Structure 1
Amino acid sequence: MPTTDPTSFLQYQYSTKAPNMGTLLTLCAAISSLLLLRVIGIGIYKVYFHPLSKYPGPKFAAASRIPTAWHMVRGNNIRWVASLHKKYGDVVRTGPDELSYINAQGWKDIYGHRIRGKALFPKNPRFFPKPPNGVDSLVAANAEPHTRARRIFSHAFSDKALREQEPLFQKYVDLLLQKLKEMVQGDPQHEHVFDMVNMYNFTTFDVMADLTFGESLQLLENSDYSPWVATIFQNIKATTMMRATYYFPTIEMLLSLLIPKSLADKRISHFKHSTDRVDKRLSANSEHQRPDIWGIILRQEESKGLSLDEMHSNAAGFMIAGTETTATLLSGLTFHLLKNQESLAKLVHEIRSTFSSYDDITLERLVRLEYLNACLEEGLRMYPPVPIGTTRVVPPEGAPICGEFVPGGTIVSMSHYSTYRSAKNFAFPDSFIPERWLDDPRFEADNKLAFQPFSYGPRNCLGKNMAYHEMRLILSKVLWSFDLTLTGNQNWSDQDVFTLWNKGPLMVKLSPARES
């Protein structure tokens, strides 16, 4: 029976009901040990007993998503994945539930049409952040929404539409050449150094803005980026950072706080800028016969099945997918041509000997230039505008990929950069050799089916033909008019990747073309 003395009573209460510090530390240590054992146990399961444990790859990557996220935010993910394929082979486990492929069969199995009632591999929702209005564009949509929207938009990217749109393409490419000539002629030495990344971007953004909004951004006229276009490049990097946080859903909210608010605000600003201009274009009913995207689509009765939100989301998507990527290929191809003078000389000769005048250069005639087309293919192989793998998710019932059954829920992809730089697919994979696309016997063993720069299957790039036409026209008119010399960074293509290449200036000296 405890004493009734108050002090003794308090001492009794503390000693019998409150744990001492040693007990608390022991309890914390026990909980920490249990948590550590759980983490270790889960890691061991993922590495050695998970359904994907038979696939080769780094053990840390099999146990945790940290390596993938780390390389993403550092901008060296494509080279990391390429090094894994070089070490481990055609298929590599890059995460607890992720597989990367470089075998050409992977294009058909992952991205191709499904047969006998089998479901398409859905796009990975964590790879494509939702637009601010919550409605997916063609790039991210799955199943019925994608099929319906693609059928409607296909009219604006058809061969017939491209023929109608040629004057628009010619207008802006001519403006590019006019600006270049004015600046070159303004130099007393008749030569000038340009950042060709900027010049190509000015052109492609002006073209796509006219096609998407019915008005130019006037980048070529002002020779500078508008604030809105400048935010697009920052938006792409922000999207990569957001994608890295998605790998850790339990702490995603906390990690998202590490992304500067300014980047998130720019993403919303980009979307609002697009929607405002789409609304303005749609209100111009008298211009529905104009051969831009909306003019062509609104002629179709089925366009009534396209919601305003879908129009907004797709317009914002076009202003990235149809601009930066085209300018990226032109920049990369220009660099590789200037680093390979023999190839450049062949291409210049083909262009200048085919056309007797600048005005003879048309979309239809450019299609027939064999060496030009070979250079475009080799540029896309060496410097694919989207070098990463766009991920898909294996359906719940699982599916065979490259002859091996893969369980449902697995995230899978074909990495463009890794696939095109693999010696298993291409001879001399790190060398720029356009002749590989012209039946050169040195490259008989090249696996051309592995080359799918515009993706593959029913959800490949809708604007593929437009991109080829635009790239041919811009490059040909530049090379017809000028002799080019690389003056800047000789290792320009050694760049970080945040979904797209993080390009630096491509400084090139332009001189009026000599007789060829």
Structure 2
Amino acid sequence: MGLFTKLLSLAGVDVASLDALTLFRWVALLLFTRWMFTTLYKWKFSPTAKVPGPWFAGLGSFDFYFRLFSDKNYQVIHERHLQYGPVIRMGTRMVSISDGKLAKELLSTHRYRKPAAKYRDIFQVLLPNIFTTADPDFHRQRKRLLMPAFTWPTLRRMEETITGAGTRPLLAKFHALAQNGQPFSVNLSTEFLGLTFDVIMRLAFGESLNLIQDNDSEVFGWFGSLLRYMVITRTFSFLKDKPVPYLPMVHQGYLSKRNVVALALRKIRERQAYLATLDRSDPKVEVPQDVLQIMLDAQDPETGANLNTEQVASEAIVQMVAGTDTTSLALCWTVYAILRHPSCGERVINEVLTEFPLHAANESDIIEYDHVKARLPYLTAVIQESLRVYPPVASSLARVVPKGGLTTGEHFLPAGCTVSFSPYAINRSPLMWSQPEEFVPERWLAPEAEMDPGCKVGTLSFLSGPRACIGRNLALMEIHVTIANLIRHFHWEFAEPRFADLEPSEHVMLHVKDNEFRVKFTPRTPELLS
């Protein structure tokens, strides 16, 4: 109180004569004045003061929280870029960039690190992992151990496991719902989340929970609660890792987090116990072909290090958190785009049914990923365009400016400032794309000389550079195989007219509004072979 007493004395106030309430009011006024002065000073003289943007972007955290709780952060950022340019002010020490070339240049190196506290506070469930770490050396070492699980040769060996946990049971469920060939409707938000959940559970935990058939599983609820907990503690980090019974949603998330960790550790120890019963020196002995096994067997070629049980659990959990919603949302938005644009839908359906006609003799066959890529170029273009227009992670991919600062155009940002990349804004930037707001799969099929600059640079839907999404190949395999086989087996249409105009809602990822997207499916009649 000594400083406040001196300030009040300088203002001619006799502190000794003040009652407690009056003194409190004076102290509150001085605190408010100090806060106001500091805020205005930063607004006028911070490193981003001369960067274009709305005047209120430099006024502390108000703008951030407004965007965050509006569920339209992705749209607000995109509209500001259209108004103010490719580099805009987002805070006193933060800018957003919508220039795809510059974004990829900055992401091509480990020099621009993740903000350590932000990613640790949101996504670190157990131990530091490949996603949460800001340490380049840790990331390189962990990537050497994990990347072999997600290469194309490995995924091709695991493809039957992947489709056996995902696409096959989904098709079986849908055919069972279509009694006597009758149409039926389902909420694809739920169905696709069950599919991606089962695939990751089978690969990273060693066991599918069959959520495609029963999405009321307790474990499903744990992960849903954990994701909500992450969203809340992203903003209110002081609530993380604390039991708070008076806040039911936070407390349930806290308990779910503990349950998820216990589940991961139990599944890993079950696999370790099973492996202990095998004579792996016998070439006839077969071990499971999945990501969990690869993580348990992984050995760093440079250091000889292995992952211990808790490290494997931490990586398995983050694969579940990062690899389920993102892929299921990509599937939802791809189906939506096909239905929303009938000419595109007609072309992609004709392509699939021409290349892979459904016959009674091959009705149980699955169109495999390599066949999709080799024989269905328009479907591939549709998926690429869907990922451009509706990136599952739409905004706020942040990096910290390193020592030496960053000069972009006429603006200089000193070390410690944050640059943020919005895939939604970059993927729709008129600097990179013709008809940026339109759904045009043909842009991906044009001769290279006629391609949009954005097609050559690529989207940021899976990020870029050394920190690009490690599960990108798995996600692409799931999306291509699932969409191709659903087209082959079923006719689609919106279940109700209201679903023809879906409104995205951003809660960390680009969800469909209220997580409801109902589509009516009618089974196709297999052709008879002559």
Confirm or deny a common fold (TM above 0.5).
yes
Q: Distance in 1 between matches of 2:268 and 2:174?
A: 31
Q: Distance in 2 between matches of 1:384 and 1:130?
A: 20
Q: Do 2:15 and 2:23's aligned partners in 1 also have CA atoms closer than 8 Å?
A: no
Q: Distance in 1 between matches of 2:76 and 2:450?
A: 27
User: In structure 1, what residue type is equivalent to 2:521?
Assistant: L
Q: Distance in 2 between matches of 1:134 and 1:477?
A: 37
- The DSSP-based 3-state class of the residue aligned with 1:412 is strand
1:164 aligns with 2:173: no
Structure 1 residue 300: deviation in Å? 4.0
Structure 1 residue 460: deviation in Å? 0.5
Q: Do 2:112 and 2:400's aligned partners in 1 also have CA atoms closer than 8 Å?
A: no
Tell me what 1:65 maps to. 61
User: In structure 2, what residue type is equivalent to 1:83?
Assistant: E
Deviations 1:334-377 (A, max 9, x none): 01111111111111111111124452622211112210110111
- The DSSP-based 3-state class of the residue aligned with 2:121 is coil
1:508 aligns with 2:502: no
User: In structure 1, what residue type is equivalent to 2:175?
Assistant: K
Normalised TM-score (structure 2): 0.84
1:228 aligns with 2:201: no
Matching of residues 354-503 of structure 1 within 5 Å: 354-356=355-357, 357-358=362-363, 359=365, 361-368=367-374, 369-401=376-408, 404-439=411-446, 444-448=451-455, 449=457, 451-488=459-496, 489-490=498-499, 493-503=502-512
Q: Do 1:214 and 1:292's aligned partners in 2 also have CA atoms closer than 8 Å?
A: yes
Deviations 1:222-268 (A, max 9, x none): 3x24122233233223222222235xx8xx99x99877322333333
User: In structure 1, what residue type is equivalent to 2:137?
Assistant: E
Among 9, 26, 44, which residue is 1:48 paired with? 44
1:348 aligns with 2:365: no
* TM-aligned CA distance change 1:130 to 1:344, over 3 Å: closer
* TM-aligned CA distance change 1:264 to 1:501, over 3 Å: farther
Q: Do 1:73 and 1:244's aligned partners in 2 also have CA atoms closer than 8 Å?
A: no
Deviations 1:43-83 (A, max 9, x none): 22111111211112223221211221232133222122222
Which deviates the most, 269-278 or 40-49?
A: 269-278
1:90 aligns with 2:97: no
Matching of residues 10-21 of structure 1 within 5 Å: 19-21=16-18
Structure 1 residue 293: deviation in Å? 0.8
- The DSSP-based 3-state class of the residue aligned with 1:392 is strand
* TM-aligned CA distance change 1:242 to 1:298, over 3 Å: closer
Q: Percent identity?
A: 23
* TM-aligned CA distance change 1:469 to 1:428, over 3 Å: same
Q: Distance in 1 between matches of 2:226 and 2:409?
A: 35
Structure 1 residue 416: deviation in Å? 1.0
Q: Distance in 1 between matches of 2:297 and 2:21?
A: 74
1:182 aligns with 2:176: yes
Q: Distance in 2 between matches of 1:319 and 1:146?
A: 19
Q: Do 2:104 and 2:465's aligned partners in 1 also have CA atoms closer than 8 Å?
A: yes
* TM-aligned CA distance change 1:351 to 1:450, over 3 Å: closer
Q: Distance in 2 between matches of 1:505 and 1:442?
A: 41
**What RMSD over aligned residues (CA atoms) do the two structures have, in Å?**
3.0
Which deviates the most, 231-240 or 125-134?
A: 125-134
Q: Do 2:48 and 2:91's aligned partners in 1 also have CA atoms closer than 8 Å?
A: no
* TM-aligned CA distance change 1:174 to 1:420, over 3 Å: same
Structure 1 residue 508: deviation in Å? 1.0
* TM-aligned CA distance change 1:462 to 1:63, over 3 Å: same
Tell me what 2:206 maps to. 214
Among 96, 101, 104, which residue is 1:105 paired with? 101
Work out which of the two has the higher radius of gyration on C-alpha atoms and give 1 or 2.
1
User: In structure 2, what residue type is equivalent to 1:477?
Assistant: N
Gapped regions of structure 1 (runs ≥ 5):
1-16
Gapped regions of structure 2 (runs ≥ 5):
1-13, 279-284
Tell me what 1:295 maps to. 293
* TM-aligned CA distance change 1:31 to 1:353, over 3 Å: same
Normalised TM-score (structure 1): 0.86
User: In structure 1, what residue type is equivalent to 2:207?
Assistant: E
Q: Do 2:407 and 2:413's aligned partners in 1 also have CA atoms closer than 8 Å?
A: yes
Structure 1 residue 91: deviation in Å? 1.3
Tell me what 2:272 maps to. 282
User: In structure 2, what residue type is equivalent to 1:174?
Assistant: R
Q: Do 2:99 and 2:429's aligned partners in 1 also have CA atoms closer than 8 Å?
A: no
Q: Distance in 1 between matches of 2:366 and 2:22?
A: 85
Q: Distance in 1 between matches of 2:492 and 2:187?
A: 12
* TM-aligned CA distance change 1:495 to 1:370, over 3 Å: same
* TM-aligned CA distance change 1:298 to 1:266, over 3 Å: closer
- The DSSP-based 3-state class of the residue aligned with 1:485 is strand
